[in-house]
Amino acid sequence: MEKKGSVLIQKYELGRLLGQGTFAKVYYARNLETSMSVAIKVIDKEKVMKAGMMDQIKREISVMRLVKHPHIVQLYEIMASRTKIYFVMEYVKGGELFKKIAKGKLKEDIARKYFQQLISAVDFCHSRGVYHRDLKPENILLDENGILKVSDFGLSTLSESKCKDSLLHTTCGTPAYVAPEVINRKGYNGKTADVWSCGVVLYVLVAGYLPFYDANLMDMYKKISKGEFKYPNWFNPEMRTLLSNILDPDPVTRIPIEKIMEHTWFRKGLNSKVSGIQLRIEEEPAKCELDSVFGPSEEAKPVVNLNAFDIISLSEGFDLSGLFEKNEHKKEVRFTSRQTAKMIILKFEEMAKKLKMIVAKKEGGMMKFERLNEGRKGMLLIQVEIFEVTSSFHLIEMKKSNGDSLEYRKVMNEDIRPALKDVIWTWQGDKPSSTESSVAATASYTNTNI
């Protein structure tokens, strides 16, 4: 049990309790080596596992290491004991933005400065394929200099979590700040949902109260769905126009974050040297190894045992897709291997470590690799699927599921192919004979099992 004055992992001295929830407590702490103040989130492993929330914790870690930005609470490191997980984070001394507005509405210039910083952080998250989904004043902190820091990524998600319709389908967030399309449960775009929440935050900062509120939750949802709210008389016309475009109940016509950043009301004061705004920052993610926290993950198993008909359909020489669609640069590449699935997975993990890529294993022989690249297209996501022909013969398919195609081809040719040379038997498509020998050999292996 954590107590004030106790020392964690011979490195951090715990101080006062800053806050607590169902599964975690947050403490002030001091680094004994550097004397730097930090906040440590202590998560109870047993409670989390019983509640089936381990995947959510893993996702929070993955998200936080992707979003290193001046206006986002920084994750320094992750530690673990047999029963606890420790998030060591930036200590933000000023507390919640909510406490500031609880005293009353803010002046427009102050509210605009906070809103600019909030949009900067959210825009950066979106460029990394991260959607917060629970933006509200309670999850926004202020440091001693009044610099805003977005926190609590417990409900955030990654772009790879989208369904086949490219929409998210998990209803989450705080009712008063949640977008209409989230309530309607028809699927929603994480970007536009976050934009709506930012608009509600701006309204609250300047008005001192919520735009959509009713003691009856269903009535409040009706107001949100229709976008029914009124402006106080002190809201100037320029800000009203911007807010009307943000709090548009139709996500299709709602103003995108790029247009918000171009709006004249938003741009005011951005050239000030003391504004504290930093837009479009490109940073490397915080490094943290999930295996050291949760223990080694289970060995991924091949997705399916292939039969001769599967092999033919996956073989490049029999691929008829070119007759129906134009695709100069195919997203997927395939190779065969005489190594075991365990050896192939191990080689992929070694490759990822060498190339500083993030590995996310999926059940059923599927792996995903994340690599940050510059620009607004965000992270490069490569999906790997391992198909078993026999226990010592496999077909591996790799394809890009997110990111820039030029970057993907460069990484594939210059980094991935050389790194995997020890497990590759033959690449499909390198030479005409490669495909033929691959199909023939694979069919031969299959026939021995029939």
The per-residue pLDDT for 372 is 56
116 class by beta-carbon count within 10 Å (0-12 exposed, 13-18 middle, 19+ buried)? buried
How far is Cα 181 from Cα 361, in angstroms, rounded to an integer? Answer: 31
How far is Cα 351 from Cα 46, in angstroms, rounded to an integer? Answer: 33
What residue has token string 């993990």?
349
The per-residue pLDDT for 1 is 56
How far is Cα 206 from Cα 202, in angstroms, rounded to an integer? Answer: 6
* Domain at 297-447, CATH from 3.30.310.80, 3.20.20.220, 3.40.50.300, 3.30.465.10: 3.30.310.80
What residue has token string 């309204």?
203
How far is Cα 329 from Cα 359, in angstroms, rounded to an integer? Answer: 25
How far is Cα 71 from Cα 143, in angstroms, rounded to an integer? Answer: 10
What is the assigned CATH class of domain 7-90?
alpha beta
Residues of the chain with pLDDT below 50 are: 155-173, 272-292, 295-329, 374-375, 431-450
Of 306, 336, 364, 307, residue with least CA distance to 429: 336
Triad 161, 167, 170: Cα angle to 5°: 65
Q: How far apart are the first and last CA of the chain?
A: 59
The per-residue pLDDT for 162 is 40
Q: What ranges do the domains of the chain cover?
A: 7-90, 97-267, 297-447
For residue 245, the surrounding DSSP H or E stretch is: helix 237-246
Distances in Å between the Cα of 256 and the Cα atoms of 66, 153, 167, 251 are 22, 22, 16, 9
| Count of residues in the chain | 450
pTM: 0.59
Distances in Å between the Cα of 64 and the Cα atoms of 46, 57, 87 are 22, 11, 10
How far is Cα 125 from Cα 131, in angstroms, rounded to an integer? Answer: 6
Which of 44, 109, 134, 415 is flagged as catalytic? 134
134 an active-site residue? yes
User: Is the CB of residue 150 less than 8 Å from the CB of residue 118?
Assistant: yes
Q: Which two tokens stand for residue 439?
A: 């199909």
Of 445, 358, 369, 425, residue with least CA distance to 64: 358
* Domain at 97-267, CATH from 1.10.150.120, 3.50.50.60, 1.10.510.10, 3.60.150.10: 1.10.510.10
